[in-house]
Structure 1
């Protein structure tokens, strides 16, 4: 189940694992609903990572999956197939070009069947991810829930004079110059 044919578009869909605010019932799921309505995304089901990863909340209650396989927990989430146009919109939301998140491969097992799939997920960018895990005392969670989302601060209520990435780098004690292009 690494790729699936898109209904009506004939385009191969990229499988994306969502673990945070993009999940059903959470604040950013409206983007996926829009993509589904435009046939740029398809819900494939609930799943869990096959490996353990750290999942923590950073500044403003934002969830971050950290690319440290073998640490943390198996993470519960959802799997979506998305078109290239849908992927571009997800990348924009996740701040890939500004190094907020980075897309990386991940393996998941589908709930119920246990069938495994190769997908991608948005991980905290490497310039702060591991340091954030350490800053959080190497304690994480196995699932980001609607209760966690209550702690999230809406974008318009956050500091407007600095980027979230710069604030994260300050939190973990890294200089902005540590971001490599």
Structure 2
């Protein structure tokens, strides 16, 4: 890799989206804006190499849990985003400074053309390292305990089925913080 390619790579981050940032879901508008501004590029459909739990919490918000070996191989979309302004916007949306999510490494596999179709069109699979927004460690175990033994408690792909009942941020009770919503969700029995 030449010096110029290394410099370009340093200015971009690879972000794996598995929930509301995917095409067709409520927060994808942020990525759409960034793509239109030249701050992001869609790279294709990928899945996690390791099994990881993907669960829904309060208001059908999806959470990827950092418990490798549990759950399933998670399907999502990979984006290259500018590592300055765009990454700051995504971190803000995901509440990384407020303890909502943590941006951590994830190992992914996908077709070299990024179409994720899995057909036999001569594509070879490629492994890539990226980052994903995982549920913060302060509540991740509680989220896993609440979901692991439920029928369809975790899943491999956040689809319209899992998103049914999703409540947009503006429509949630505003007198409680996101972490308050999580604490309340975890405090009620699933029975």
1:50-89 mapped onto 2 (5 Å cutoff): 50-83=49-82, 84-89=84-89
Runs of 4+ in 1 over 4 A off after TM superposition: none
Secondary structure of the 1:97 match is helix
- 2:27 aligns to what? 28
Q: Which runs of 5+ in 2 are unaligned?
A: 111-115, 117-122
Corresponding residue to 1:142 among 153, 156, 171: 156
> In 1, Cα distance between the equivalents of 2:171 and 2:9?
41
> In 2, Cα distance between the equivalents of 1:27 and 1:51?
27
| Structure with max Cα Rg | 2
Secondary structure of the 2:108 match is strand
How big is the alpha-carbon RMSD for the aligned residues of Structure 1 and Structure 2? 2.0
Higher share in strand:
1
Q: Which runs of 5+ in 1 are unaligned?
A: 174-181
Higher share in helix:
2
- 2:45 aligns to what? 46
- 1:178 aligns to what? none
With normalisation by structure 1, the TM-score equals 0.86
User: Alpha-carbon deviation of 1:10?
Assistant: 8.3
Question: Aligned pair in 2 of structure 1 residues 38, 130: CA closer, same or farther (>3 Å)?
Answer: same
Aligned residue-pair number:
168
Is the CA contact (8 Å cut-off) linking 1:57 and 1:64 kept in structure 2?
Answer: yes
With normalisation by structure 2, the TM-score equals 0.82
1:90 aligns with 2:90: yes
User: Alpha-carbon deviation of 1:27?
Assistant: 1.1
